[in-house]
Structure 1
């Protein structure tokens, strides 16, 4: 005797213990038959413990037995049915949940309505006697794995709704109680049930991200990971190092333009800390680009806006902000990690000279190749 639960996570088949828990099985089967469980949420999911559902109000406070549903004058709950040989030993055990103490029947005996739970772990024997075992999950144990992994809030309510869509009775040995009305089709969710929806099953728990934005985020994370690796092996002073904002990159220079000429032209915008035309290491001939470092960022910005495309020595130059950190790194590497400040930060921030060593020139050529390509 079995029932198929179609849930938003997948199908679960429950085999029923009709001989050992006949009253409980009848209650469950007839509630399934009238589609009472349709759209019910798994309102309480505790990892490696239980997943509870069967409340049409989706609050954990509702639900009634089939006889009360047929005749509202009868008690809302029925006595819990316990068989001594039925235990919560295996994952996938299905039990009717006992109502709260204030809802207990005459004499304080536990009662049950429509809510039931499925165990998500083995050896939960301390639940014995606290609910009425009436079945076990025969198919769909992988769905229990998914259910066990859902994200929940502080009250163990899943953030993304997990709901029973349909109940299909595969075999029912019990005659219908008098007055039972079976609907011709599955009823639509009521406005009250729809109001309980948190995040729909077809929605994502995470905010939707535009594919282009997602790719940018991916590249940014990847670049951060590479930078962190370089920091760990000592090739960068720290992963967040950025190009200086007071250094300009000047390209398309005439080979005859000298350092002094360029420094004189740019000095009208502010104090020049260093100005160097980059030259071939062997021939000493100009490579057609240079670095100009100002004392202040504002001075570099003014020069950037006013000097781009200006004619110098019969060549229209191109000015941009430097994208190279090689000069900063060279100073840091030469001073070592024991320099003043974090990773020598203070030292190389105070003394960024582009005329120190030949190695720096080679670094500049390597790190600015992309900018040179854009200029060409």
Structure 2
């Protein structure tokens, strides 16, 4: 058996569970009350997005003359909505134990606790239709008697409507007409069916806020209309890029810890920007974008910080600063090319799902310091127009073979090869590192005076002997005489994700004076001591 509800939001077709709740199906609106047009012009109210909405009170629960609705046993009048047997307005519905509000569009009878017996629940004419899945809060409280089989577009429209604090729509949603598609039961004695669909009563018209068929005044402000047009156009373009695979999602947003710097001097290099911006925090990558053919700077760059807070400080402090006689412009990056490239690479992998998510997350966690760093991203993962030395050399050789002149651009130094390896080898073939042991009592530090230069085997020996220590690192800026140690610098990458919200995450815990040997080595271009290795107690 089915019932059709014609609402101002669209038609809704409901199938009834006669075997599970025969009394509900026979006595509420979906059969006999629908037949006498009791629900005509009844409002939809108590809308809770992604949960449920309620209807069934023909006048509305907020109206002074509302009696809450009546069951068919009260013999209500379909025209006046008044009952002739007030003592029979409510009844005890059947609450099925094996049916749950697990699917969207589940229809159930709204109930209330009996005043005489708290263990009993009573119902009248009000019903509930769920707008989400697995609504367990209604199980055992609302009597399920049907499900929506057609008209889910109407449910979506109701779910998205604007409501006030009580869940009532700002513009009315009404049940305009009801049609019983199949009714095998006899009418109760005394039931009167109106000859035609009745007009809204005076009490019902008094509850109108904004009529369902009222056309609201359109926005004619040219600026707002242009803004709406641009937003719709941008949304459509994003959806197109998602469909063709250029974006992993139309709702993707750029990373919050990357700065866009433009109006640079063509002579400004990657390491120059890193040195200037490193005072605001740890820099994961600093990249001046260059033409892939000539290698000339395009005069803009992307700087990726280790945290959002460091990026924000740099944004507020570096706007309009002079660098190499050029006044730069700083803004937050709007590029998602790296995220999109990592997503595509992960999506193509046969084992992507095993790494977590559709495209995996491991590749998104990889970071590189400069172009060409070992373990960094591939050519296709970079920003567009990144300088590719091998490609430029190949084109130059091809040009020479054809008799064409070489490019007049000066040759670039090979700064990529092994540029930011963590430890470089000295003449003895051993790795040297600058090690700092963070300990509140300097006399108990395992490193002489708390700071020392040692080889990697010596460092590994200390870590094997002292198993309660963990190792982190902090980059040494070129020419810096001291290094500030923050609480976040004592954490590993996995610990940062757990402790990022703690109040002392950004607190300064120590200041380390860099030895002159290390400072002079950095100034003359030595590759030793790129990082300060920090030893601290495990958390």
Shift in Å, 1:104: 4.0
TM-score (norm 1): 0.55
Match runs of 1:71-150 below 5 Å? 71-99=84-112, 101=113, 104=115, 106=117, 108-150=119-161
CA contact (8 A) 1:67 1:74 kept: no
Q: 2:185 aligns with which of 174, 179, 187?
A: 174
CA distance in 2 between partners of 1:10 and 1:141 (Å): 9
Whether the 8 Å CA contact 2:111–2:141 is kept in 1: the answer is yes
- Aligned partners of 2:54 and 2:201: how far apart in 1? 21
Query: Which 5+ residue runs of structure 2 have no aligned equivalent?
Result: 77-83, 231-259, 264-318, 328-539
Q: Deviations over 1:196-247 (max 9, x none)?
A: 1111222356x434xxx43465469999xxxxxxxx9999xxxxxxxxxxxx
Q: In the alignment, is the contact (CA less than 8 A) between 1:104 and 1:110 conserved in 2? A: no
Q: Which has the higher helix share?
A: 1
2:430 paired residue number: none
Is the alpha carbon distance of 1:108 and 1:10 closer, same or farther for their aligned partners in structure 2, counting shifts above 3 Å? same
Q: Aligned in 2, Cα 1:127/1:192: closer, same or farther, shift over 3 Å?
A: same
Which residue of the other structure, out of 137, 157, 167, is the alignment partner of 1:156?
167
Q: Contact 1:104/1:111 (CA < 8 Å) preserved in 2?
A: no
Structure 1, unaligned runs of 5 or more: 224-231, 236-335, 344-376
Give the TM-score, by structure 2 length.
0.39
Distance 2:210 2:129 in 1: 23
Q: Deviations over 1:118-144 (max 9, x none)?
A: 001111123111011110001111211
Closer/same/farther in 2, CA of residues 184 and 85 from structure 1, 3 Å limit: same
The answer to whether the 8 A contact 1:90-1:121 is kept is yes
Distance 1:135-1:234 versus aligned 2 partners, 3 A rule: same
What is the Cα deviation at residue 51 of structure 1? 0.8
Change (3 A) 1:39 1:222: closer
- Judged with a 3 Å threshold, the aligned counterparts in structure 2 of structure 1 residues 50 and 88 are, in CA distance, closer, same or farther, namely same
Q: CA RMSD in A?
A: 2.7
Q: 1:105 to 1:14 in 2, by over 3 A?
A: farther
**Counterpart in 2 of 1:39?**
41
Aligned twin of 2:58: 56
2:6 aligns with 6
Report if the CA contact (8 A) 1:97-1:132 is conserved: yes
**What corresponds to 1:253 in structure 2?**
none
Report the Cα offset of residue 73 of structure 1.
Answer: 4.8
Closer, same or farther: CA 217–194 of 1 in aligned 2, 3 Å:
same
Residue 160 of structure 1, CA deviation: 1.1
State the match for 2:27 in structure 1: 27
Kindly indicate whether structure 1 or structure 2 has the higher relative contact order, using CA contacts under 8 Å at least 6 residues apart.
1
Partners of 2:176 and 2:2 in 1: how far apart? Answer: 17
**Cα pair distance change 1:104/1:23, threshold 3 Å:** farther
Distance 2:193 2:210 in 1: 31
> Kindly tell me: are residues 84 and 129 of structure 1, through their superposed partners in 2, closer, same or farther at Cα, counting changes over 3 Å?
same
Structure-1 separation of matches of 2:229 and 2:179: 49
Q: Is the 8 A contact 1:9 1:146 kept in 2?
A: yes
Q: Distance in 1 between matches of 2:136 and 2:70?
A: 26
Contact kept? 2:75, 2:190, Cα under 8 Å: no
Q: How many residue pairs get matched?
A: 226
How much has 1:89 moved relative to structure 2? 1.1
